[in-house]
Amino acid sequence: MRGMAGFRRFVYNFGLEMLKASWDFEGIKASDSVRLNEIKKVFTNHVMTLPEYAWTRNYSLPHLPICFSGFE
């Protein structure tokens, strides 16, 4: 249970930092929900494949919507 809480906090913090950074991107006029959908894709397709984040693969992908639900 502790591991899942740590995973959820990590994903939430990652998403929050990416969302805040995306507000400064020039020329991108997208809603936060569109931005969050793209952040989810980046997390699953890129971040989870990096060796330093290999531990994130221990958690199933159906948990990701729960982790990002704090933004809604």
As a whole number of angstroms, the distance between CA 45 and CA 30 comes to 21
pLDDT of residue 3 exceeding 80: no
Tens of pLDDT along 40-59? 899 989 998 999 999 988 88
Bigger pLDDT: 16 vs 60: 16
| Nearest Cα residue to 67 out of 16, 25, 23 | 16
| 38 exposure class (CB count in 10 Å sphere: 0-12, 13-18, 19+) | middle
pTM value?
A: 0.81
Residues 60-72: tens digit of each pLDDT: 777 778 888 877 6
pLDDT tier, 1 (very low <50, low <70, confident <90, very high otherwise): low
Cβ-defined contacts of 37-42 (< 8 Å, 24+) = 39/14, 39/15, 39/68, 40/15, 40/64, 40/68, 42/18
